[in-house]
Structure 1
Amino acid sequence: MLSLLRPLPVACCLYLLLLLLPGGQGRIPAYNNGFHYQDISNGNGNGEIYFNGVRLHVESPEPAVSATRGSSVTLPCHYHYEPELATPRRTRVKWSWLPANTISAPVSPAASARETEVMVAMGNRHRSYGSFRGRVRLRRSAPGDMSLVINELQLNDTGRYRCEVIDGLEDESVTVELELRGVVFPYHSQEGRYRFNFFGAHQACQDQDATLATFEQLFTAWEEGLDWCNAGWLADGTVQYPITDPREGCGGVDLAPGLRTYGQRHHLLRYDAFCFSAAVKGTVYFLKHPVKLNFTEAVRACASDGSAIAKVGQLYAAWRLMGLDRCDAGWLADGSVRYPITKARANCGPPEPGVRSFGFPPWNLKFGVYCYR
C-alpha cells in the first residue's frame, strides 16, 4: 500500500492540474503533427476530443488483382489528404501479406490473422523482407502513389496484401487480394486413395510443382465444372470435394450441386489432395521418339533432349493455360501416365476436355513421355 502513496512527478501533477481547471481553461503544449484537434467543453468540465482538420485517406481502385506466375504485377494503393496539403509530408508506408496457402493450420484465430512484412519505406529509404527481398518496389508514378510492384511472381505469393500509410497519429490502410491464374486438380498417392495426411498432401502438391488449393480456388474450379467424388485436403486444413452432378455416394441425389465439406479435420487423418498449379515459365511437350518407353527410359529420353520429365502440375497448367492438346498417353515425373485434351474427339476419352489419367501403371510398361523445358 505504501507504494501507492509514492509522490507523483511534478510534470505529471502539472498535467493533471491543467486538465482539472474549470471550464476546460487549462492549456497544455500540444504535439503538432499537422493535424488539428479541438477540445469541446460540455459545461461540466469534461471535454470531447474530435478531429476537425486534415484527414488521411488510403484507397485502392482494385480490391483484387490476378496475374500469371513468373510475371510482374502491381497492387494499387494511393493516399491523399482532405483538404489537400500545401506542402508534402513525410509519411511511412508498410506493405504486409497474409498468405493464401499455409503449411499448417493456425492454433488460434489470432494466429490465423498474423501478417508477414513485405516492404517498409519512408522517403527514399526502403527495405524488403523474406522471399520478397529484391523482388518488390514502390511504383511512385504520382504524388501519393504507394502501389507495390512484385516481380517474378511465385506460386506462393497469393494472398491478401495490406497497404498501410502512417503519418504521425494517423494510420490508415487498405487491402488488395492477389490471385494467380491457374488450375485445380485432384491428386492421390501411388499407393491408392486417401493416403495423405495434411502434411503429406502439402508435400505431394509441392512435388508436382503446385500448392494445396485454397477454398476460393476450389470454388472457382467447381464453378468452371470440376466434379470429383473423392474428398481432399485444402490449404486451410479443411477437407472438401466439388460436385456438379449430384449422385449417390457423393452426398446423395437430394443435395444441390456445390462443395461438400467435412470441415476442419485432424491433420493426421488421411484423404486425397486438391492441388493448384499456375502457369509454367517453360514449355511442356510430348517427346517425339521412334519407340515407346518404360519409365526409366522416359526419364533418360527427356534428359537427352535437354529437358526434364514433366510434373503433373506442369501438364495441367500447360493444358489449361496454354492449350496443350495431345491424344498420346505419356509418362510423368510421379510415375503416372496421362494426356491432355482441349478438344474432345473420338478415341481420346470422354466427351469433355480434361487431362486423362491411366493411373500409376507398372514402370516396365511402354508409353510416350511428356517433357518440360
Structure 2
Amino acid sequence: NNRVSPLYSGTGHLCRACTSVSALPADTEKGRRRVVHVLEDDTGAVIVQTAPGKVVTHRGGSITLPCRFHHEPEDIDPARIRIKWTKVTDALQFDDVFVSLGRQQRVYGKYRGRVSLEEAGPGDASVVIHNVTLDDYGRYECEVTNDMEDDTGFVNLDLEGVVFPYYPHLGRYKLNYHQAEDACKQQDAILASHSQLHKAWLEGLDWCNAGWLEDGSVQYPISHPRDQCGRKDNPAGVRNYGYRHKEDERYDAFCFTSKLNGNVYFLKRFKKVNYAEATKACVRDGSVIAKVGQLFAAWKFQLLDRCEAGWLEDGSIRYPIVNPRARCGGDWPGVRHLGFPDKKFKLYGVYCFKKKEEEMMSKLPTTKSPTKKNSDSLPTNTTVSS
C-alpha cells in the first residue's frame, strides 16, 4: 500500500494543529484543586471519593491527586487509618506508590523524594506528585482502610504534550512492541496511549502508517479517508488493528512527549557538518545533540520555528515550522522530516538541547519528618499490607 499521508508531504511535515494534546477537560482547570464532596452514611464503612474526569499537568510540574474519605464512627484513632496509593499498570497489575499508617509513611521506587501527603485536614488522603515525569501518566488508585473496612477510588493523571509518529533509520514497520517502546524512550518520549492518539486525531492528526500504542494495540489516525489508507469509503477515525503479538509483529510507533526542562536551539555555524562533527559541536557549546521528542516538544511549547535542516540524535534530518511559508516545505506547520542521510558524507546544521539547572529540590516544600519514623521504610513492628 501507498502509506503516504497528504498531511505528511515529501518533506515529511507534521501539522502542528494535528499533534497537540491539550489539557482535559479544559486548560482553565489545569493546576486547580478539584472540590471533592464526600457523602456520609450510617453503614460504618469507609467512603472514598476522588475527582471525576482527569487532573492535568505537564512534565516537570507538580500535581495533586485528590482523594478524601469519611468513616464511622467519627472518633476512630487516626493511627488506625491506612492510606495506600498505587498506579494501575495493567488490568490486574499495580505498582506501589505511597502508603501511610498513622504517622508512618513510605514512598516506593521512582516516586521516592517526589510524593507526599497533601494533609489538607481530616479525611484528606490526597497526595502531591512533584517533578512529574512522562512515566507518571496514567491511572492511580487511592485505597483507605479503617480496621476491617476499606474503600477505593481512582484518579486519572493526564499530561499536556504532543503525539508524533516515529520509525527508525531501519525503515518503516521494523519495530516489535518492545523495540517501539525503547525507540520512543530513546527519543525522550513514551509510547502514546489510545486516548492521547484519539485526542490528536480529533485535532486533525492524519497518518497512514500503523503504530504501536502503550497498551499493546496497533492503530493509526485517518482524518481524510482515501483508498491508500484503508479505503476511501471507510469513515474517518482511529483505525484499530487490535492487540498484536508483541514479539513477532512489527509496525511503527506513536510516541508522546511533554514540556522540556531545557531548550532546543539551532546551533549557528559558518559551515555545515556531518553527524559526528554535529555531535561534537553541541558538546563544545555546553549541550548535547537534540532528540526527536525534544524537537517536537520545543516546536509545541517553545514555538521553535527554524527553516534550516539539522541533525538529530537518531541520525535523522528535521526542522520545525510554526509559521508556514512556501520556501520552508509547504502550507502546514509541523516538524519536517528529510529522512536518514549518510552520517559521514552528508552535511547539515544541527539542533542542540541544553538542560536547565536543576532547581526542583530547592522548590520542594519542607516535609514533616521530625523522627526517623517518617522515613522511607516503616518500623518492623508496623504492619502495612499490600
Partner SS state of residue 297, structure 2: helix
| In the alignment, structure 1 residue 85 sits paired with structure 2 residue 85 | no
| Other-structure match for 2:106 | 127
Give the structure 1 partner of residue 61 of structure 2. 71
Q: Name the structure 2 match of 1:318.
A: 298
Q: Secondary structure at the match of 1:283?
A: strand
* 8 A contact 1:310–1:371 mirrored in 2: yes
**C-alpha RMSD over aligned residues:** 1.6
- Where 1:175 maps in the other structure, the secondary structure is strand
For 1:299, the aligned partner's letter is T
Deviations 1:58-100 (A, max 9, x none): 1123441111112211101111246x7256643110001113x
Paired residues for 1:1-373 under 5 Å? 52-81=42-71, 85=74, 89=78, 90-99=80-89, 112-267=91-246, 268-363=248-343, 364-373=345-354
- Based on CA coordinates, which of the two structures has the bigger radius of gyration? 1
State the secondary structure of the residue aligned to 2:182.
helix
- Letter of the 1:66 partner, please give it: V
1:212–1:276 CA contact under 8 A, matched in 2: yes
Q: Kindly indicate whether the alpha-carbon contact (under 8 Å) linking 1:307 and 1:372 is maintained by their aligned counterparts in 2.
A: yes
CA distance, structure 2, for counterparts of residue 170 and residue 345 of structure 1:
64
Native 8 Å contact 1:62 1:76 kept in 2: no
In structure 1, what is the Cα distance between the partners aligned to 2:147 and 2:153?
Answer: 18
When residues 87 and 203 of structure 1 are mapped into structure 2, their CA distance, relative to the original with a 3 A threshold, is closer
The residue type paired with residue 247 of structure 1 is: R
The TM-score, its normalising length taken from structure 1, stands at 0.80
The AA in structure 1 aligned to 2:162 is V
* CA 91–325 in structure 1, closer or farther in 2 if over 3 Å, else same: same
Question: Is the partner of 1:195 in helix, strand or coil?
Answer: coil
**Partner of 1:36 in structure 2?**
none
Offset of residue 164 of structure 1: 0.6
Unaligned runs of 5+ in 2: 1-40, 355-386
Q: Is the 8 A contact 2:168 2:314 kept in 1?
A: no
Aligned length: 311
Which residue type is aligned with residue 161 of structure 2?
G
2:46 aligns to what SS in structure 1? strand
- Secondary structure of the residue aligned to 1:202 is helix
> Which residue type is aligned with residue 173 of structure 1?
T
Per-residue deviation, residues 237-271 of structure 1 (Å, max 9, x unmatched): 11111100000110111111111111111122111
Quick check: 1:337–1:357 contact (8 Å CA) kept in 2?
Answer: yes
Q: CA deviation at 1:128?
A: 1.1
Cα 1:334/1:53, change in 2 over 3 Å: closer
Alpha-carbon distance in structure 1 between the residues aligned to 2:273 and 2:196: 36
Q: Deviations over 1:207-266 (max 9, x none)?
A: 111111111111111111111001111111111111000001101111111111111111
Structure 1 gaps, min length 5: 1-50, 100-110
Q: TM-score, normalised by structure 2?
A: 0.77
Distance 1:236 1:357 in 2: 27
Q: Which residue of structure 2 aligns with residue 39 of structure 1?
A: none
- Aligned in 2, Cα 1:354/1:113: closer, same or farther, shift over 3 Å? same
Distance in 2 of aligned mates of 1:138 and 1:232: 38
- C-alpha separation in 1, matches of 2:125 and 2:50: 10
The structural deviation recorded for 1:53 is 4.6
Residues 278-320 of structure 1 deviation map (CA, whole Å, 9 limit, x = unaligned)? 1111111111111111111111110110000000000011111
**Contact 1:227/1:243 (8 A) holds in 2:** yes
**CA distance change for structure 1 residues 53 and 265 in 2, over 3 Å: closer, same or farther?**
closer
Question: Does structure 2 conserve the Cα–Cα contact (< 8 Å) formed by 1:139 and 1:146?
Answer: yes
Taking the aligned partners of 1:190 and 1:60, their CA distance within structure 2 comes to 45
Matched-pair contact (CA < 8 Å) for 2:51–2:155: no
8 A contact 1:310–1:372 mirrored in 2: yes
> Alpha-carbon deviation of 1:55?
4.3
Specify the SS of the correspondent of 1:196. coil
Identity of aligned residues (%): 51
- AA in 2 matched with 1:287: L
Residue 339 of structure 1 and its aligned partner are, at CA, apart by: 0.6
